[in-house]
Structure 1
Amino acid sequence: MLLDLTEDETLLKNAVEAFAENRLRPAIKDYADRHRFPTELVREFLGLGFMGTAYPPEAGGAGLGTRGAAIVAEVLARVEPSFAAIYLCNSAPMTVIARYASDEQKRRWLAPLCAGETIASFGVTEPSGGSDVASIKLRAMEDGDHFVLNGSKIFSTNAGTPLHGLSTVIAVTDPDKGPKGLSTFIVPVGTPGFSVGKAGRKIGWRIADSVELFFDNCRVPKAQLVGERGEGLKQILTTLSIGRILVAATGLGLARKAMDLAKAYGNGRKVGGRAIFAHQGLAFPLADILTKIHAAELMIRHSAILSDSGRAFRTETSMAKLFASELAGEAADIAVQVHGGYGVYEDYDVSSLLGEAKVLQIVEGTSEVQRLVIARELTDA
């Protein structure tokens, strides 16, 4: 069956659930209420080896692929979606290194990430635009054995935190070649000319710091160019497609959390002398959400299988990301509605879910971008 877990996947799920329930759930609300990055909890999570779930054993990973990574993201999100965000945003730079870097680069940069020694951030979006790669302005000028980077990136999650060790960034190396003139670089923290801005307060991903990256005559050795010069566009598209599976899994976990909270509150509440779920006005929308949760799980698992098997998967991942992130918003909305007036009070966990869901509908390509990707199927021969 498509949803059956292997023995290794079952062990993984049980281990992540143990961390999420025993360590994350009791402590995370205080961090979220204060919009504070949970350094010690993340360090503990790193020490358990979960960051290496998707990556090959030779790099120190567990070799469980995108299927395994999606399990981690969903389980974390069912307790705290913004903790899952820390995980999925670390996965993007790890993915681009795992898929395109040299063996030496993998030993130097991927292995420590798999071991949980540090975390990374991904730099694609800029103040001038996000999904439109033609708008990228960060310039990398060749200078002897180095490239000199000038420009900035925004919304780089995990950067600037106490555990941040490196960023992978997309820059223009050959402006006359258009989209084929983009390349990816590994930029470690501490590189002269590389700095980060201050984290802002967000309506979602409250514990996952997102900042601006600045490059001011930042000299990066050619040995830190990932893959071949000019391969950046291909690397972006593949990495974002895999990332969309993890965003979808996070949305699925959020939807499950919303239903957990709705059922726990609604089962003890009466309206007009009847249990609240006896009223079709609430019971039927909840039934729709439960149905969509099952559909989302199937879509996520299918797209992860396609990714891990090396088959074409871009359209399917966009479908999964679109469906699951929109579902997260629907589930959050009905869960707040079940709580009535209490649902808008920050003392209740359900109050944060609408903001968390909205972030998922924007990151890794907005819902509109996903529909554009999917709509191309209508005109492709």
Structure 2
Amino acid sequence: MLLDLNEEERLLKEGLEQFAEGSIRPKIKPFVDRHEFPTELVREFLSLGFMGTAYDPDFAGGGLGTRGAAIVAETLARAEPGFAAIYLCNSAPMTVIARYGSDEVKKKWLEPLCRGDFIASFGVTEPSGGSDVASIKTRAVEDGDSFVLSGSKVFSTNAGTPLHGASTFVAVTDPELGPKGLSTFVVPVGTPGFKVGKPGRKIGWRIADSVELFLDECRVPKANMIGERGDGLKQILTTLSIGRILVGATGLGLARKAMDLAKSYGAGRKVGGVPIFKHQGLTFPLADALTKIHATELMIRNAACLADADRPFRLETSMAKLFATEMASEVADIALQVHGGYGAFEEYEVSGLLGEARVLRILEGTSEIQRLVIARELMA
């Protein structure tokens, strides 16, 4: 494992930081306050080519793999966690297409996603549950040269926004096979029977719309199936494992943001004529936080390196995701405490970080699911 960024990664990070400083930080607050998707800011981000960072250059990608994608998620989250959410939720459909799609499918769907022509959403979780894939009820029935999809998904981020062009759906094609009877399909926006619900207001990811999706006898060509029939479970597990690295990287960026805000506020704050950072009651928790941030960086980088090397990485991914997201909540809480009473007011940016961090402990598998994965690996 190498901690240092290579030249391409360094240039990527510099470009992202320029975008964050020039566009996200000075413009994002009104969108956060209104829980509004920042269409033009995302459009600008897409035009810079960052969305394709991880993927094959043959399909307009940057070729920097999961390591590169983690850099994108972390850097965006340090500016605005919700912006990182838009990126990582678009990465899920891109990942399943990139890893399992035929060249024809990649050409049709991955390439325009890498170019930034539109964004996509990933449909796995249903009203009846998320982590239990055996409970998936969405059906895909073969009919001639097509599959007809019926069902619904929830918490699908990026769907319904002005830039939404397609969604991927995991559906049951062979009920008698149980979890081995799942397959994945691309459904373009505008397909008859494909409808999008209204976004709700969340405590975190306030600029990233998450909605319910409905499929009512939605017909798509067989060519829209990603990979082989029955590969859905394998695709879900791999895509979630990659996603957990990016969620962990988002937690890392959020924690760095919390530390930035704590240091900035604390540097000029005095109590009884003494700078508050002279008090061990505040500096010791910050010292612990910085140590955990550094440990998280190592864990995220290690998991990303394993993923890019096509080595087993599910255990390392779950440990990194668990540690990073719980650490992010802890550091956000410390940063708010540094602000004292002011941390409770929405005018102070730190006030929103607890909600942003809390969401990370749920998606792509809750903390409890990560502990279950780790325990199973331990006992194997």
Q: Give the TM-score of the pair, scaled to structure 2.
A: 0.99
Matches of 2:84 and 2:52, distance apart in 1: 14
Question: 1:219 & 1:61 partners in 2: Cα distance?
Answer: 30
Residue 29 of structure 2: aligned partner: 29
- Alignment of 1:113 with 2:119, yes or no, is no
CA offset at residue 208 of structure 1? 0.2
Residue 156 of structure 1 aligns to which amino acid in structure 2?
A: S
Matched residue type, 1:225? M
Q: In 2, are the aligned partners of 1:276 and 1:282 still within 8 Å (CA)?
A: yes
Alignment check: 8 A CA contact 1:2 1:298 kept: no
Q: Following the alignment from structure 2 to structure 1, what is the Cα–Cα distance between the partners of residues 377 and 172? A: 29
Partners of 2:375 and 2:255 in 1: CA distance: 26
Partner amino acid for 1:353? L
> SS at the partner of 1:170?
strand
**Match of 1:342?**
342
2:371 maps to 371
Distance 1:278 1:243 in 2: 40
**What aligned pairs does 1:187-226 form with structure 2 within 5 A after superposition?**
187-226=187-226
Q: Distance in 2 between matches of 1:331 and 1:195?
A: 39
**CA apart distance, 1:3:** 1.3
Deviation at 1:178, TM superposition (A): 0.7
Is this contact kept in 2: 1:187–1:224, CA < 8 A?
yes
Aligned to 2:163: 163
Deviation at 1:378, TM superposition (A): 2.2
Q: 1:124-135 residue pairs with structure 2 within 5 A?
A: 124-135=124-135
Question: Runs of at least 4 residues of structure 1 off by over 2 A?
Answer: none
Number of equivalences:
380
Separation (CA, whole Å) in 2 of partners of 1:179 and 1:149 = 17
Q: Distance in 2 between matches of 1:190 and 1:143?
A: 20
Structure 1 residue 261: Cα displacement? 0.2
Q: Tell me, what secondary structure is at the counterpart of 1:33?
A: helix
1:235 and 2:235 aligned: yes
Matched residues in 2 for 1:76 and 1:200: separation? 23
- Paired with 2:44 and 2:202, the residues of 1 have a C-alpha distance of 24
Report the 3-state secondary structure (helix = DSSP H, G, I; strand = E; otherwise coil) of the residue aligned with 2:28.
Answer: helix
2:49 paired with 1:49: yes
Deviation per CA, 1:227-256, whole angstroms, max 9, x where unpaired?
000000000000000000000000000000
**Counterpart residue identity of residue 61, structure 2:** G
Cα distance between partner residues in 2 of 1:284 and 1:272: 20
Distance 2:379 2:23 in 1: 49
Alpha-carbon deviation of 1:2?
2.1
CA shift, 1:219, in A, is 0.6
Of 371-380 and 295-304, more deviation after overlay is shown by: 371-380
- Mapped partners of 1:3, 1:352: distance in 2: 30
* Aligned residue runs from structure 1 range 214-363, under 5 A: 214-363=214-363
CA distance in 2, matches of 1:132, 1:278: 49
Alignment of 1:13-24 (within 5 A): 13-24=13-24
Q: CA deviation at 1:275?
A: 1.3
Between the two proteins, what is the percent identity of the paired residues? Answer: 78
Partner of 1:11: 11
2:84 is the alignment partner of 1:81: no
Distance 1:378 1:55 in 2: 32
Mapped to 1, the partners of 2:274 and 2:312 lie a distance apart of 51
Per-residue deviation at 1:379?
1.4
- Check whether the contact 1:194–1:214 (CA below 8 A) recurs between aligned residues: yes
Preserved contact between residue 55 and residue 98 of structure 1 (Cα < 8 Å):
yes
Amino acid at match of 1:350: V
Task: Please report how far the alpha carbon of residue 271 of structure 1 lies from its aligned counterpart in structure 2 after TM superposition.
Answer: 1.9
Deviates more, 1:1-10 or 1:24-33: 1-10
- TM-score, scaled to structure 1: 0.99
2:301 is aligned with what amino acid? R
CA offset digits 1:105-153 (Å, max 9, x no partner): 1001000000000000000000000101011110111111111111100
* Whole-Å separation in 1 of the counterparts to 2:263 and 2:293: 15
SS at 2:339's partner residue? helix
**2: CA distance, partners of 1:234 / 1:157:** 22
Q: Distance in 2 between matches of 1:103 and 1:228?
A: 13
SS where residue 85 of structure 1 aligns?
A: helix
Unpaired segments ≥5 residues, structure 1: none
Greater Cα shift, 33-42 or 139-148: 139-148
